Amino acid sequence: MSTVLDQIIRGVREDLSARRSALPLEQLRDLVATKPAGLDALAALSAPGGVHLIAEVKRASPSKGALADIPDPAVLAAEYAAGGASVISVLTEQRRFGGSLADLDAVRAAVTIPVLRKDFVVEPYQVWEARAHGADLVLLMASALQQGELTELLGLVEELGMHALLEAHDEDELTRCLDAGGRIVGINARNLKTLEVDPSTVSRLLPSVPAGVVGVAESGVTGPDSVRDYVGAGARAVLVGEALVTGADPRSAARELLAAGGRRVDVEESS
């Protein structure tokens, strides 16, 4: 029986095939060669002074459907940056999340901080795409990849001057992310095979992330209390989408979450 994750990846591969037909890999590589170097997402997420925020441009989700009407992702990203976000995450999967590479382009043009391409990356072509569209950070999910694929894709990400956010949601996946050489490792409270969210997953696994690796808490953040809980478990960054896009004031919401995690955002510095 196929899981939700299986179904999503099936659609991702179909859409990827269409894009590859329209723009062959050789041409994509030529496009990458014209792009400026990527920003250092690892440095951005390693800076001292409290928790970091990866703020997400997220239109929809498989579990809840449409979340927010985002007429201009560039405007939202700019608000996140003004609120103190260290990285902007952009969902580019279209079928279940309503995202696109056009959203990534718009955000890249609007902010001067690192940008994460958040998608279900299963082939090298998608890594080249990410760099071509200005991403500095790429999500690699252990649940979607065999170990050899995870290691190979991480190597390509780093070869192209980016960093990877390696994602785990159980002990085995965390071990695999660390064995692959992940320097930014996220623990996802959401099991994408069932869509169930269990914040205790983050609290249980984050303490096993070594001190030299940036531990990121993903999913399950509903407000400041969630951030405090995750920071208490060892999170150095939190990735937040729904709680930000469904609110009325994303800039203030970002600042509130950061304050809960011990990071002070000066208005003068972030405006």
Active-site residues, by number, are 56, 58, 118, 167, 188, 218-219
150, 177 Cβ separation under 8 angstroms: yes
The count of other CB atoms within 10 Å of the CB of residue 135 is 31
> Torsion angle of alpha carbons 53, 130, 140, 203, nearest 10°?
10
Q: How far is CA 168 from CA 132, 178, 205, in A?
A: 26, 10, 9
Write the CB contacts of 209 (distance below 8 Å, at least 6 apart in sequence): 174, 178, 185, 187, 215, 234
Amino acid letter at 104? L
HSE of 150, CA atoms in CB hemisphere, 13 A: 23
> How many angstroms separate the CA atoms of 190 and 147, rounded?
21
